[in-house]
Structure 1
Amino acid sequence: MDNVKVMEKFQKFRPPYFNGIAQDPLAPTKGIEGMDETFEVLTLTGEQKLLCTNYQLQNEERKEIDFMDLKQGSKSMLEYQQEFEKLFFFALEHLKEDHAKAKRFKKGLRPTIGAMLVGQYLHSYAQVVQAAKSIEDEQRENYQAL
């Protein structure tokens, strides 16, 4: 069986992704056990197992990159915050501190909102989110009044 077919069959089993140990210390064990079960069913060679395992880990790396590249764009503040929170799990360790999290959130905001936050001394993530939501609400009200 060639590598493309191996990957197609492997993905049909929806194997678990390794999400780190932050939320569940047994996650690595569960992930390995889940992939081992898939490997047994597919009767893969050692090389094919390695190919599939690398693919799973690369998906996690992609999520870290998605987090670093995340921008609000046309999303509402709530949609941006939800996406940010979902991907924050994959952030590098030095971004886990509250002030770093706040700074990264600000960086991804729409320029019209981010510029309004520049002069404000907001230190926590919660403060930044609340201020950004207030600015978005004010901008929406001003737009509707036109």
Structure 2
Amino acid sequence: MTAWNEADVRARTTTNIPPILATTPMAVAQQAPAPVDVSRIMERFQKLRPMEFNGLNKEPLPPAIWIREMEITFSMLECIEDCKIWCATCMLKGKADVWWRSTQPNHIATHPDLKWEKFKEAFFENYFPKIYRERKAMEFMEVTQGFKSILEYQQKFEELFHFVFAHLKTDREREEI
């Protein structure tokens, strides 16, 4: 090794200049995140048999339950943000699917990089109007056992708890607190 080469090597090691290999296409490809295989994610998603959502019925909790089930499924799959809306909207059926197909262009126009939180906000605004959530939250605050059995009281408490739990609040509502 010549004096020049030794000095060059010492300079590189003492000044922490990254080696040239770190900038080669092979090294860059190894550092870059692996591309997302959406079909594989969807296949794994479908195997879990997630809950479908058909819109409102007489029971008020299905929208909250559906969102919670989606989030549990996403967690199990370690689903990336970009796939959440895609997977979830595949589970919208009937009137819920019609709602999403009709509102999706507006949401994409206002939020080109639409994320799960914004989807949830739109979903809850449509299926859990704020006035309804506020009414149920008040009902929760006033729930008492009275002449109910412990089991009846517990069931009423758990039913109303869904309406005041933080995961149902939109970003705007969280800021108001």
TM-score (ref. length: structure 2): 0.34
TM-score (ref. length: structure 1): 0.40
**Larger Rg over CA atoms:** 2
